[in-house]
Amino acid sequence: MARVCVIGAGSWGVALALLLHTNHHEVTVWSIDEQEIRMLDQEREHKSKLPGIFLPDEMQFTTDMEKALSGASIVVLAVPSPYIRSTSAKMKEWIGKGQIIVNVAKGIEESTLFTMSQVISEEIPQADVAVLSGPSHAEEVGRGLVTTVVVGARSRKTAEFVRDNFMNAVFRVYTSPDILGIELGGSLKNVIALAAGIADGLGCGDNAKAALITRGIAEITRLGVAIGGKKETFSGLSGMGDLIVTCESRHSRNRRAGMLIGQGYTMQEAMDQVQMVVEGVYSAKAAKALADKYQISMPIVEEVNMVLFEGKSPAESLKELMHRDKTEEYRQLPWD
């Protein structure tokens, strides 16, 4: 049994806390929101984000960060990506050398173009930072539905330690050394999922959705490999796997926000309706900036940015994508 601290009491943090408790670990959940912690402690249920999922009495909830982090073998960092840097800065004082932090947030910092593990490592250089990602909606993990993810770390030892603490009969964990690829796949797919949602909002059918997923993973892979990720990672759980579920699932906040935008809502109106952080909105500008920096063609990402931030109509963006120059699917394939 390990002592585990989960930083962040949103749906994903609470679902993972419950998973880790099921694995017989001693789990403490921290949040900056006193009202949220009081509700979790007293009601034993996250009524707004995970309704109907009971949280055992043994799970502890606190706003005291020092108390939460003290003696933890694993720290799970589960705050939304826009708050990773500020939260990491607060944690630094109580993180020991080599203490394992498992980042589960998905995003790219717009100001630095850093992945979340790079942000954490900059703020807490003494930590051993790992990442966990894959097709894993909190609503299903919290209910104990079968899920498979991948954990990336600098060393095999750390990856296997994290795997062994998270894995059980319904939560399968693979390991990988490709932290960068895992994070890029998990972050960039949110932008493509916004596009998929927009297509749904416009009334496009399954053919269009399949095309967006397929061409979306091509864009993600081109950029990810150019930055330094491994091609295999983008056809795996944190690439294609996470992209499929985020583009298709009723639980996907990015798809839902995109649907509303396709139906005529503004970006802000859509985010207000979803009532949770829509990671793809925060990653879209960074994704385009990375594409420009590495001179990678990402037409879907470009059109999403124009819809979100330049007032372009979704219908016009769809038209632009369909009328791009004629080309081969894979230019590197030779003709006889």
pLDDT per residue as tens digits for the range 188-197 = 999 999 999 9
pLDDT at 77: 98
Class of domain 180-322: mainly alpha
154 contact partners, CB below 8 Å, separation of at least 6: 128, 129, 130, 177, 179
pLDDT at 220: 97
Q: pLDDT digit string (tens) for 21-63?
A: 999 999 999 999 999 999 999 999 999 899 999 999 999 999 9
Residue 72: pLDDT above 90?
Answer: yes
Catalytic center residues = 189
Residue 192: strand, helix, or coil: helix
Q: Which residue has the tokens 């979803």?
A: 274
**Complete edge-to-edge strand list for the sheet that includes strand 3-7:** 60-62, 26-30, 3-7, 74-77, 100-103, 128-133, 147-152, 171-176
> CATH 3.40.50.720 in the chain, residues?
3-177
> CATH 1.10.1040.10 in the chain, residues?
180-322
Tell me if the pTM is above 0.75. yes
For residues 231-249, average pLDDT: 96
For the domain covering 3-177, report its CATH number.
Answer: 3.40.50.720
